[in-house]
Structure 1
Amino acid sequence: MPALSRLLGGGRVGALTVAVAVHFMDRDALFAAARPLLRPGGGIAVVTNGEPLWTQDTEWSLALRGCLERMLGHPVTARCQTDEDGRRRNREALVRAGYRYEETSVRYDAPLTVDDMVGGVFSAMSAEHLPREQQRERFAAELRDALGGRTEVTESVRVWLQCGVRDEG
C-alpha cells in the first residue's frame, strides 16, 4: 500500500479488490492503509466464494474430502475463512477502518471437472504444504476413482461481495 500511495497519491483510486487470499493478510492494516488511497465514494471490495470444495454438502464433495484426508493423513476442516465467520471478520475490520459496509451475493451452478477440483484444493494450500507432482497425480487418480468414473460434477456456487465504501468528505 505505501508503494501504491507514492505512485498514485491520495484520494485518487475508485476501487480496490481483494479476494479469498484476504485470510492471509492483516485485515485491519490492509483496510486502514487502503482508505487514504480511495477517493470519496470509492471503496474496497472483498470477493469470496462460500463453501470450499471439500466442505460442501454433496456426494462429490464427500469423495473429495475423503481423498484429501487420506493424502494429508488427518481430518480436513479448514474453511479458508470464506464462511460466515470469515465474512464477519472482513465486515468488522472494514467498519473499524471507517468504511460504510455493504454486502451482496450471487448464486449459480457451474460445471466442475476433476482437474478443477484438484486445482481448487491445491490453490488453497500454502506453498510449504503443496504435494509434489507425483503425489498430485496420485491424488487426481484417486479422486477420479472415488467419483466412480465421473469426469464432471455440478457445483452450486455462492460468491460474496463485501464492500467498504469511503463516504464523501
Structure 2
Amino acid sequence: MDRDTLFTAARPLLRPGGGIAVVTNGAPLWSQDAEWSAALRDCLERLLGHPVTATCQTDGAGRRLNQEALVRAGYQYAESLVQYDAPLTVDDMVGGVFSALSADRLPSASGRAAFTAEVRAALGGRDHVTERVRVWSQFGTTG
C-alpha cells in the first residue's frame, strides 16, 4: 500500500472532523508466540522451501509506517487495541495461510490436502488451538 498517496488523496474527501482508519489483525498465524504457531511455520517453510519471516506489516514496524504517513498527511493520530482469545481449527489455520499466499504460490488441491494433514500431524493430531488475537485500529482524523 502506498500510504502517503492514499492518506493524502483521502483527506479532501472527508468531512470536517472526519477521518480514516487502518485496522490490522495482529501477527500472522505463522509468527505468533505459541507452540502451535511454530509448528505451523515449520510446515509452511517446508511447503515454500525457504524461511518464513513476513509479517504482513501488521507488526509494530508496519503500524509505525501507518502512523508516520497519517501524520505526514496532516491527520491527528490515535490508536486502540482490542485483544481476545479465539478458537482456531487446523482448517482455519490452513485457510489463513493460503489467503496470504499469491495465486502462483498456492499448491494444487492434493497439495493443500497434504499440507493440511502435515499441519494436523505437527500438532499431534489436535484440530483446535487457541489464538491470542490482537486487533489494532489506527485513526487519522482531520481535527
TM normalised by structure 1 equals: 0.82
In 2, Cα distance between equivalents of 1:26 and 1:133: 34
Query: Which of 95, 102, 105 is residue 78 of structure 2 equivalent to?
Result: 102
What is the one-letter code of the residue matched to 2:35?
Answer: E
Pairwise CA RMSD: 0.9
Partner of 2:39: 63
Gaps of 5+ in 2: none
Partner of 1:147: 123
Partner of 1:8: none
What is the one-letter code of the residue matched to 1:125?
Answer: L
* Distance apart, 1:129 and its partner CA: 2.1
The question of 1:47 aligning with 2:26 is answered: no
Once the two structures are superposed, the pairs formed by residues 14-163 of structure 1 within 5 Å of their partners are: 25-163=1-139
In 2, Cα distance between equivalents of 1:98 and 1:108: 32
* Distance apart, 1:131 and its partner CA: 2.2
Give identity over the alignment, percent. 73
Consecutive aligned runs of 4 or more in structure 1 exceeding 3 Å deviation: none
Choose between structure 1 and 2 for higher RCO, CA contacts under 8 A separated by at least 6 residues: 2
In 1, Cα distance between equivalents of 2:62 and 2:45: 23
Q: Report how many residues are paired.
A: 143
Gaps of 5+ in 1: 1-24
